[in-house]
């Protein structure tokens, strides 16, 4: 079976994502992007308007994936809240590991979005975090999760998960489902052995 060929726009996004991850959005020039693609600097503009257009696509595409995964994980109200939280953690890890470069750009380079995209992105991020706060708050209210401050717990949980693109390697000894399971256990059960 032949590998799927990427469209020129997808090639541009792929190469730009790698450059944004390694060099940062601000330090990556359109000339550098064109060179990496084997194109003349001026011809890249026949495919995209600006490098911010690429950043916008990366950030909002990943946001859509995180929301879809969270919705799928947390929507089943018949499951105990701890199970839904576990599934949300695991789905977050799955999205992060599907494209580590895009995840790193999503987590760190969004600051370079201009208005109104930046405000829209921050609103989406707040809504996503609110989903975790709601799960943690429900679990705390039911007495099944220890989360006296659901906002703090949600930020701690997401900060722990979002460090993943800094150390995860697809060639590593753990596959994404194994990492997701271990992280969920660590975050849900902690370190202390209880009698």
Evaluate whether residue 135 is within a structural domain: yes
Evaluate whether residue 92 is within a structural domain: yes
DSSP 116-174: THHHHHHHHHHHHHHHHHHHHHHHHHHTSS--SSHHHHHHHHHHHHTTHHHH--TTSSS
Evaluate whether residue 33 is within a structural domain: no
Evaluate whether residue 38 is within a structural domain: no
Q: In the chain, which stretches have pLDDT less than 50?
A: 1-3
Looking up tokens 């799955």, which residue turns up?
A: 94
What's the pLDDT score for residue 1?
Answer: 39
What's the pLDDT score for residue 194?
Answer: 66
Residue ranges making up the domain that contains 113 = 52-189
pTM assigned to the model? 0.90
For position 119, which CATH number holds?
Answer: 1.10.357.10
What digits encode the pLDDT tens for the residues 30-56?
A: 999 999 999 888 888 888 889 999 999
What's the pLDDT score for residue 76?
Answer: 85
What digits encode the pLDDT tens for the residues 72-88?
A: 999 888 999 999 999 99
Interatomic CA distance for residues 31 and 170, integer angstroms:
30
Task: Please name which of 16, 35, 12 lies closest in space to residue 24, comparing C-alpha atoms.
Answer: 16
Number of domains present in the structure of the chain: 1
Evaluate whether residue 153 is within a structural domain: yes
Rg (C-alpha) for the chain, rounded Å, is 19
Total Cβ atoms within 10 A of residue 76: 11
Cβ partners under 8 Å of residue 58, min gap 6: 13, 16, 17, 20, 102, 105, 106, 109
Interatomic CA distance for residues 2 and 6, integer angstroms:
12
Q: How many CA atoms lie within 13 A of 164 on its CB side?
A: 29
């Amino acid at each position: 079976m032949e590998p799927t060929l990427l469209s020129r726009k997808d090639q541009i996004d792929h190469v730009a994502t790698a450059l944004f991850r390694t060099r940062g959005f601000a330090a990556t020039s359109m000339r550098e992007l064109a060179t990496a693609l084997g194109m003349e600097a001026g011809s890249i503009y026949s495919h995209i308007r600006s490098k911010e257009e690429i950043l916008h696509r990366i950030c909002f595409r990943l946001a859509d994936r995180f929301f879809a995964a969270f919705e799928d994980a947390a929507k089943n109200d018949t499951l105990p809240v701890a199970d839904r939280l576990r599934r949300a953690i695991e789905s977050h890890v799955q999205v992060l590991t599907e494209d580590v470069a895009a995840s790193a750009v999503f987590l760190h380079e969004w600051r370079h979005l201009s208005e109104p995209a930046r405000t829209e992105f921050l609103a989406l991020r707040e809504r996503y975090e609110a989903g975790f706060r709601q799960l943690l708050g429900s679990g705390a209210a039911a007495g099944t999760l220890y989360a006296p401050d659901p906002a703090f717990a949600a930020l701690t949980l997401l900060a722990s998960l979002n460090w993943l693109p800094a150390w995860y390697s697809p060639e590593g000894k753990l596959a994404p489902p194994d990492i997701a399971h271990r992280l969920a256990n660590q975050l849900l059960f902690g370190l202390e052995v209880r009698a």
